[in-house]
Amino acid sequence: MLESVDRDDYTIATYYVEDNLPGYEFIDHLAMIQAMALEGSTGTWEKIKDDTSEVREALSAKVVGYYEVPAPPGSKKAVVQLAFPTKTFENNINIPMIFMSFAGNCFIYPEKLKLVDVSFAKKICDNFMGPKFGIEGTRKILGVYDRPLSLHIIKPKMGMTPEQTADQCYQTALGGVDLIKDDEMTSDPFNSNYIDRIKHVMAALEKAEKQTGKKVIYFCSITDDVDKLPEKAKKAIEAGANGLLIAYSSGPSILRVLAEDPEINVPLFLHPSHMLASLDRIAFPVFTKICRLSGADFMLSPTMWSSTPATGLEESYRTAHISVAPMFNIKRTWPMPAAGMYPGLMEVLYSEYGNDQVIPAGGGMLGHPDGYTAGAMAWQQAIDAVVKGIPLIEYAKVHKELRRAIEKWGVLERPHTPWGRYSPTYLPKPIKDL
């Protein structure tokens, strides 16, 4: 049972498992689950004499939960929980080995398997610093404590010179944007070396700050081979960078290296990149928890209301929750409902994620009919409206930039499902404008 293992010493992985064996009346599903557990710890296909009971007791994964899901004859479906002992890597607790235990060869066993959650042992979390700044630290840098933050994604994805990039950032900074990031596809294209980009963008943001009194963090993309990233990060900071972006393609292990380096004292933005290709096998909340543990201050997250929804509604909620829920000593990571965001989504986003979120916008800011500055202003006005409890439509009547954004993109009205005590026919129906 879960109560049988020391939660300070065991990491619990939760899987959905499905197997189909047409024509078989007797299916010993637990035999397969046992093989799966041993494959992620001590076992092999043939038991040998040195695979003793003492070795298995100390290092084997333990099956601590098997919850059968109704399935037709000839198939088995279940939610399974395996407990992995920290002793496996106790002398050197690191992300690659941790990940290999619960997300390694186990995937070859069932016909269908999805890793849906991981609950880390306290002993593991105690060995990680997690985000250096997190939500509270970033708010202190910006001096913004009581609302969601807006983020400008530089577009086009790549192709602009450092000077053009800086001009775009200057215009959105004048409009009140809180954060700016390179698109993940930009690091060192032929016409925009990252050092040159940092120098030009930071000069533009300093100029804007003198006019607005508002600080902006710029996340410069430095994604590269892992052996180059620490030096590249330090050169970026020497050039004036006040934020850094790396993609998951470089790996969570190097994210940890950067986050725990005292010389890299700026917030880190993690872009999910190719983890998206694995979502049919590993749930987004698992990736989020690993990246939070590894030190991501910011991380893009899914939302149902996206132009490209990576997950359903419930998994989107769970991902955001895992970013901000208490996790031993690990600071909170900013959730960022992403992709296709426009100001008319703000009421729904605020109702679902509250104050502690960042809303990133590329086309939904830069595509404003009155230009980049007006696009940034429209977002700040939408945020102000929801925090004050004023409907966007009403606020837009006296705020031109928001009105123009709504005229172009509209306002999302969240659909409702008739759960609860009432017949759908007789659900209460509010009457407005009596």
Q: Which of 77, 123, 181, 271 is the catalytic position?
A: 271
Residue 165 CA to residue 175 CA, distance in Å, equals 16
Contact, 79 vs 32, CB < 8 A? no
Instruction: Identify whether 271 is a catalytic site residue.
Output: yes
CA angle 172, 173, 179 (to 5 degrees): 95
Residue 81 CA to residue 62 CA, distance in Å, equals 8
Any bridge partners for residue 113, and if so which? 17
Give the CB-side neighbour count of residue 21, counting CA atoms within 13 A: 11
Q: Tell me, what amino acid is at 432?
A: K
Q: Which of 122, 155, 214, 408 is the catalytic position?
A: 155
Alpha-helix runs per DSSP H in 119-161: 122-125, 134-142
Question: CB count, 10 Å around CB of 94?
Answer: 13
Residue 334 CA to residue 138 CA, distance in Å, equals 9
Question: Do you know the residue count of the chain?
Answer: 434
119 three-state secondary structure: strand
* Ordered strands of the 75-85 beta sheet: 62-69, 75-85, 10-20, 112-119
Instruction: Identify whether 155 is a catalytic site residue.
Output: yes
Residues labelled as active-site residues: 155, 271
